[in-house]
Amino acid sequence: MSSPTLLLIDPSMVVPEHQGMAVISAIWPGTVRTLFPALRNQWPTPDDLRAAQAVILLGSKASVHDDYPWLDALKIWLTPLLNAEVRCPTLGICFGHQLLAHLAGAKVGLREPTGHKLAAVVESHFSPNRLGVSGDLRVIASQCEEVKEIPRGFRHIATRPTCNIDGLEHCELPLFSVQFHPEAREDFALRQKIPAAAVDARLKADTTRLLEAFCQRALRSEPVVVTQI
């Protein structure tokens, strides 16, 4: 039996999220394939999706409204997942969360009219969901924009005072997303001017629990079924 493949897409525009990707790779029991659309022009293809057991789409300085060739290609690539033409467990993080919601028809915009960026350790409250994660999670948030409304076909699963729609899951498809950064550790925190000491044992345990829940959910899923792509 071949090793299950996780397709990890890092659309960072300045610095690759190496530490965060290492956190995810340590949790996934199979093969991890990484792509860098913005930094290295590595765009995912339909074959990449056919070979994947799961997809994780990380954060980016980009906005879902920007005009970049790599972003246009990524939007096209994600569309079959949202149209149920391909069923593959997918987790969108920060920019990934916003992009999935945007493609599903929701409004995405600045969290504050001034464009002020929030970068802080916060607590996100999870209501019952298919990942089985509940209660308050200590997490790192770093964002200028947010999802303004629940997209059609999705359910609201997480919230915090600084971000109402902090987590989503599709009502039928294996699509999940969070606005915060469960993969973030000390390197990410320091780049956001958050003290590394804030990345404490509870934060690591809470965010690892979320990532493990997604990976376990993905590994229990049936192989990807492609009706058309």
Contact 188, 140 (CB under 8 A): yes
Active site residues per annotation = 94, 181, 183
C-alpha to C-alpha distance for 161 and 125, rounded to whole angstroms: 10
Cα separation, 103 vs 69, in Å, equals: 16
Q: Is 212 exposed, middle or buried (0-12, 13-18, 19+ CB in 10 A)?
A: middle
Assigned token pair, 220: 């229990």
Question: By the 8 A CB rule, do 141 and 119 touch?
Answer: yes
Alpha helices in 88-200 (DSSP H): 95-103, 186-191
The 10 Å Cβ neighbour count of residue 67 is: 8
What are the φ and ψ backbone dihedral angles of 158, each rounded to 5 degrees? -150, 145
Helix 69-82 × helix 95-103 angle, to 10° = 60
